């Protein structure tokens, strides 16, 4: 890591907040500040929510609230916000972290990938980039991967996740930003399904640099029936993993009923961009106070 002090890095962090806001102002994307605490939580199989004593949950992303505003016709929006994920602690994880999330109406999936890369350039300067589908990435880097001995009882989905995280991911973004596109249906998250080369895939993408995941975006699912089914599926997976099911956000689901405009959205990890910008080892090096000192 460079010899600059923590205070220098925090001054740069402040400056980057301003640059991020200028980026969106220039593109006529409106800043919103949806609540951090809400009555229902985003339901993800593998994201655990921090619950408070007043029957409210700390948001793990601003997605549902922003989509409610989109359904009400607000137009293109972004939020620069702290989000919370229980138990996610490590060199590249902090249970409270800063996320930039934005939604664009009538944007194509590739149009949003390009805009996300431009946003990343604000932090890291121009770097070459390449696109690789999820399937191509597995075939290129993990064709012959075998599960570790301790993974004998893993499901095929778990093994795929293992190959992606441990075998493929270290290769992604060594010298260039790598965009992984077209995720398998089991990992659609809130992305729309489409058919590519006869195979059903989700219009979802992630962007990596130096093996670190920086962004997750998709062509957003607008169908309320399918959305409800996916939330139930995520809850079923949670229960299979001995976790509690989470209440569904009916406000979010009725917003989809009302009609979410055709849009693409992406969430970018602000802290990880700062980590790469400063060649830091750990998020603790660039955050004012990381989890253990907060």
Partner 1 sequence: MAQISTNEFRSGVKVEIEGEPYNIVSNEFVKPGKGQPFNRVKLRHLKTGRVIERTFKSGEKLNEADVNETKMRMLYKEADGVIFMDDQTYDQITIPNSLIADKDQWLMEEVLYDVVFYKGEPIEVVPPTFMEMVITETAPGLRGDTSGRVLKPAMTNSGAKIQVPIFCNEGDKIKVDTRTGDYVSRI
Which residues of the shown chain bind partner 1 in the complex (CB under 8 A)? Answer: 44, 46-47, 87-91, 93, 148, 150-151, 154, 157-158, 161-162, 164-166, 169, 187, 189, 206, 213, 216, 241-242, 267, 269
**Identity of the residue, 74 or 212, whose beta carbon is nearer to partner 1 in the bound complex:** 212
As to burial, measured by CB atoms within 10 angstroms (0-12 exposed, 13-18 middle, 19+ buried), residue 274 is: buried
The least CB distance from residue 73 to partner 1, in Å, is: 28
**Identity of the residue, 14 or 93, whose beta carbon is nearer to partner 1 in the bound complex:** 93
Q: Give the integer Cα–Cα distance in Å for 228 and 126.
A: 40
The least CB distance from residue 178 to partner 1, in Å, is: 14
**Identity of the residue, 47 or 222, whose beta carbon is nearer to partner 1 in the bound complex:** 47
The least CB distance from residue 129 to partner 1, in Å, is: 19
How crowded is residue 13: how many other Cβ atoms within 10 Å of its Cβ?
A: 18
Q: What is the DSSP letter of 243?
A: -
The least CB distance from residue 92 to partner 1, in Å, is: 8
**Identity of the residue, 12 or 96, whose beta carbon is nearer to partner 1 in the bound complex:** 96
Smallest CA-to-CA distance from 270 within 98, 19, 16 is with 98
Q: Give the integer Cα–Cα distance in Å for 85 and 58.
A: 8
The least CB distance from residue 102 to partner 1, in Å, is: 16
- Cβ within 8 Å of residue 178, ≥6 positions away: 129, 130, 131, 132, 172, 207, 208, 209
Q: Give the integer Cα–Cα distance in Å for 192 and 213.
A: 21
**Identity of the residue, 7 or 292, whose beta carbon is nearer to partner 1 in the bound complex:** 292
């Amino acid at each position: 890591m460079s010899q600059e002090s923590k205070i220098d890095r925090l001054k740069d962090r402040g400056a980057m907040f301003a640059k991020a806001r200028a980026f969106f102002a220039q593109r006529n994307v409106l800043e919103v500040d949806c609540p951090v605490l809400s009555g229902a939580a985003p339901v993800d199989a593998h994201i655990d929510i921090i619950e408070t004593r007043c029957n409210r949950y700390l948001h793990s992303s601003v997605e549902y609230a922003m989509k409610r505003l989109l359904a009400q016709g607000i137009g293109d929006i972004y939020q620069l916000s702290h989000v919370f994920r229980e138990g996610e602690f490590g060199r590249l994880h902090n249970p409270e972290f800063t996320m930039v999330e934005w939604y664009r109406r009538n944007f194509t999936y590739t149009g949003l990938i390009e805009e996300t890369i431009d946003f990343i350039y604000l932090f890291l300067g121009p770097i070459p980039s390449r696109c690789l589908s999820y399937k191509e990435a597995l075939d290129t880097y993990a064709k012959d991967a075998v599960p570790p001995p301790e993974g004998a009882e893993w499901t095929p989905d778990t093994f795929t996740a293992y190959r992606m995280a441990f075998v493929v991911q270290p290769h992604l973004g060594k010298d260039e930003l790598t965009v992984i596109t077209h995720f398998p249906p089991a990992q659609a998250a809130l992305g729309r399904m489409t058919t590519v080369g006869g195979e059903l895939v989700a219009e979802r993408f992630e962007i990596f640099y130096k093996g670190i995941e920086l962004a997750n975006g998709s062509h957003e699912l607008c169908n309320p029936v399918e959305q409800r089914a996916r939330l139930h599926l995520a809850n079923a997976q949670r229960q299979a993993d001995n976790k509690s099911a989470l209440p569904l956000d009916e406000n979010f689901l009725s917003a989809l009923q009302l009609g979410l405009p055709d849009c693409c959205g992406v969430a970018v990890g602000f802290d990880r961009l700062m980590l790469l910008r400063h060649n830091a080892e750990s998020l603790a090096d660039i955050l004012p106070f990381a989890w253990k000192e907060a």
